[in-house]
Structure 1
Amino acid sequence: MKYLPINNKLFIKNRKNFTAKMKPNSLAVFNSNDIYPISADSTMPFEQHRDIFYLSGVDQEESILILFPDCPKEKHREILFLKETNAHIAVWEGEKLTKEAAFKTSGIKTVYWLQDFEKVMFELMTQCDTVYINTNEHYRANVETETREDRFTKWIKDKYPAHSVAKSNPILQRLRSVKEDIEIELMQQACNITEKGFRRILNFVKPDVWEYEIEAEFMHEFLRNRSKGFAYTPIIASGNNANVLHYIENNQQCKAGDLILFDVAAEYANYSSDLSRTIPVSGKFTSRQKDVYNAVNRVKNEATKMLTPGTIWADYHVEVGKIMTSELIGLGLLDKAEIQNENPDWPAYKKYFMHGTSHHIGLDTHDYGILTEPMQANMVFTVEPGIYIPEEGFGIRLEDDVVIKDKGEPLNLMQNIPIEADEIEELMNS
């Protein structure tokens, strides 16, 4: 891993919080992700399943975590199973976790090699009544590939059909959505790396530069600061490309007078940041561009203030819509007649601002969180309003990551990343 070691008290506390929510005499199993094939002997870079990482800190393939808080054998209340390492593997693939290193990483004392899994599992299953399986129930999930967790679920239900089955995901949705202080520090590091990338490109962008050249500058800065790269597929959208919400081709030349919308950010230690900024290719906004830009920034600032404990996500978006509607009237993009005749299910402002304002962020860019439950302190949300005007050839989105606090305004983890239009112009022309 490129990132520095994480204090294992985070993972110890996460396991304690999870097991406190389990049914009596139950165990839970969590699997690493597969390494996914491309073709021939090529594979995708390994990405650890966020749930096993959250509970153990183990960032390695073919790993299994078992939690059994009521187990008669104390040493079997927490168990890690790892792929056995040896000198040959170290030469060809690099050093894998030893049992000692796994303990140092996770705080779990009992570590077995993977070859012992079925034997140990049989003993554990004779002692428990319920098995927690880990299914993906995120509201945006759309998974066609059979995962390692899926295969395990089929195996355990087939081999032990008399056991009750419970779901880990509802517990994890609530736990992972509220961040520990160490997690917020890791997310702040991801945001700090993103800041370095953004400041780098402010001095790089000029007319006729290519979108992919800008993408390369971000990647350079991220890698040199211990990130493994982008937290999500980057958007570098110049001109009318900004009006395609998920434009990822990044293959066009940036023209003088146009704007570039960036939705690009670094990960650090598997934690995401999520940034959007919009800058002028020529280093100066036109009067119209600046008016729209400042309107988006005002919406973002007002929306940020509304992220407080007790807020309901759906109600929050209704209120943000009202603020955006007012700004769009001021810009001459909407009139009162359009608003009076709007469809309540698709308000008039949606013509120019068609996506949501905020989502949870953490180990996943669109992180766990139950949207029907009130917001809580130490949840982290993006704030990302935008105005998209295809007929004028540009779109603007501004986005920061903020931590909800018990009292006072949220903590903006991106407060040091330039955002005011005048500051952007000054930095680009310095």
Structure 2
Amino acid sequence: MKYEPIPNSLFIKNRKKFMDRMLPKSIAVFNSNDVYPIGADSTLPFEQHRDIFYLSGADQEETIVLLFPDAMNQKHKEVLFVRETNEHIAVWEGEKLTKKRATEVSGIETVYWLSDFDAIFFDLMTEAETIYFNTNEHYRQAVETQTREDRFIIACKQRFPAHKVAKSNPILQEIRGIKEPEEIKLMQTACNITEKGFRRLLGFIKPGVWEYEIEAELLHEFVRNRSKGFAYTPIIASGNNANVLHYVENNRQCAAGDLILMDVAAEYANYSSDLSRTVPVSGKFTKRQKEVYNAVLRVKNEATQLLVPGTLWAEYHKECGKLMTSELLGLGLLDKADVQNENPDRPAYKKYFMHGTSHHIGLNTHDYGELKKPMKANMVFTVEPGIYIPEEKMGVRIEDDVVIRESGAPFNLMANIPIEVEEIEELMHG
């Protein structure tokens, strides 16, 4: 792994939080992701399932975590299964976790080879009454591929039809949504790497540069700072491309006078950052561009102040809509009649700002976290309003990542990344 070692105390705490919420005589099992084939002998780069990483720090394929707080044998309360390594694997694929190293990484004392899983799991299931399955219930999930977790669930139900079934996801939504100090530190590192990439760009962007060249500059800076690369598919959208919310082709030449919207950020140690900035290709905003930009920035700043303990996510977005409506009126994009006659299910502001303002961020860019309960301290959210005006071939989005605190304003993990018009212009001309 490129990232520095993470203290296993984080994973020990995470497992305790999960196990404290388990039913009596219950087992929870978490599987790593598959290595996905492309064709021939090619595969996609491996990405660890974030839940198993959260609970163990084990960052390799063919890995299983088993939690059984009421196990009769003390050593089986926490078990990690890893792929057996040997000299041949080491030569062809590189170093894999040994049992000793697996314990050092995870803090789990009992480590078995994966080949021992079936026999040990059967023995432990004779002591258990309930099995926790880790299904994907994220509100944005749209998974069509059968996962390693899916196959395990099918096989387990066939093999143990008399056991009760429980869901891991509600527990994970609760505990993963509230970050430990170590996690916030890792996310700050991801944000700091993102800052380096963005500052690099301000001296690079000019008329004639291609969007993919900007992407390449970022990737260079991210990887040289111990990141695997982008936390999500980068959006580098100049001119009218900014009005396509998930524009990822990045294949247009940047033209003088255009704005360029960049939704790009680094990961670090599997933790995401999520940044949006919009800058002028020529290095200076026009009067109209500046008006729209500052309107978005005001909404971002005011919305950030609403992220405090006790805030409800749905109500927060309604308030953000009111903030945006006011700015759109000021810009002449809406008039009072538009607002008075709006459909409550499709408010007038949605014509120019059609996405949400905030989402949880952490091990996933759109992270786990409870959305129907009041916000709590140490939740981390994006704040990302935007105004999109196809008729003016302009789109502006500005986004930072912030930590909710017990009292006072949220802590901005991206506070050092240039955001004001004057600073951006000065750095682009520097």
Work out the number of aligned pairs and report it. Answer: 430
Superposed, 1:1-400 pairs within 5 Å as 1-400=1-400
Q: Report the AA paired with residue 29 of structure 2.
A: V
Q: Report the AA paired with residue 419 of structure 1.
A: I
Q: Report the AA paired with residue 50 of structure 1.
A: R
Q: Report the AA paired with residue 19 of structure 1.
A: M
Cα distance, 1:117 vs structure 2: 0.6
Q: The residue matched to 2:214 in structure 1 has which SS?
A: helix
- Quote the RMSD (CA, aligned, Å): 0.4
Q: Report the AA paired with residue 395 of structure 1.
A: G
1:22-54 Cα shifts (integer Å, max 9, x gaps): 000001000000000001110000000000000
TM-score (norm 1): 1.00
Q: The residue matched to 2:85 in structure 1 has which SS?
A: coil
In the alignment, the residues of structure 2 paired with residue 60 and residue 40 of structure 1 have an alpha-carbon distance, to the nearest angstrom, of 22
Q: Report the AA paired with residue 243 of structure 2.
A: N
In the alignment, the residues of structure 2 paired with residue 119 and residue 338 of structure 1 have an alpha-carbon distance, to the nearest angstrom, of 67
In the alignment, the residues of structure 1 paired with residue 120 and residue 323 of structure 2 have an alpha-carbon distance, to the nearest angstrom, of 58
Cα distance, 1:88 vs structure 2: 0.5
In the alignment, the residues of structure 2 paired with residue 14 and residue 317 of structure 1 have an alpha-carbon distance, to the nearest angstrom, of 30
In the alignment, the residues of structure 2 paired with residue 321 and residue 64 of structure 1 have an alpha-carbon distance, to the nearest angstrom, of 44
Cα distance, 1:268 vs structure 2: 0.2
In the alignment, the residues of structure 1 paired with residue 333 and residue 183 of structure 2 have an alpha-carbon distance, to the nearest angstrom, of 41
In the alignment, the residues of structure 1 paired with residue 371 and residue 65 of structure 2 have an alpha-carbon distance, to the nearest angstrom, of 28
Q: Report the AA paired with residue 203 of structure 2.
A: N
Cα distance, 1:369 vs structure 2: 1.3
Structure 2 residue aligned with 1:410 = 410
Q: Report the AA paired with residue 336 of structure 2.
A: K
Cα distance, 1:70 vs structure 2: 0.3
Q: The residue matched to 1:417 in structure 2 has which SS?
A: coil
In the alignment, the residues of structure 2 paired with residue 349 and residue 123 of structure 1 have an alpha-carbon distance, to the nearest angstrom, of 59
1:85-129 Cα shifts (integer Å, max 9, x gaps): 001100000010000100000000000001111110111011110
Q: The residue matched to 1:304 in structure 2 has which SS?
A: helix
| Consecutive unaligned residues in structure 1, runs of 5 or more | none
Cα distance, 1:257 vs structure 2: 0.3
Q: The residue matched to 2:30 in structure 1 has which SS?
A: strand
Q: Report the AA paired with residue 125 of structure 1.
A: M
The runs of at least 4 consecutive aligned structure 1 residues that moved more than 6 Å come to: none
In the alignment, the residues of structure 1 paired with residue 368 and residue 121 of structure 2 have an alpha-carbon distance, to the nearest angstrom, of 29
Q: Report the AA paired with residue 36 of structure 1.
A: Y
Q: Report the AA paired with residue 296 of structure 1.
A: V
1:54-85 Cα shifts (integer Å, max 9, x gaps): 00000010000000000000001000111000
TM-score (norm 2): 1.00
In the alignment, the residues of structure 1 paired with residue 8 and residue 112 of structure 2 have an alpha-carbon distance, to the nearest angstrom, of 19
In the alignment, the residues of structure 2 paired with residue 167 and residue 225 of structure 1 have an alpha-carbon distance, to the nearest angstrom, of 38
Q: Report the AA paired with residue 345 of structure 2.
A: D
Q: The residue matched to 1:422 in structure 2 has which SS?
A: helix
Cα distance, 1:371 vs structure 2: 1.0
Q: Identity of aligned pairs, percent?
A: 75
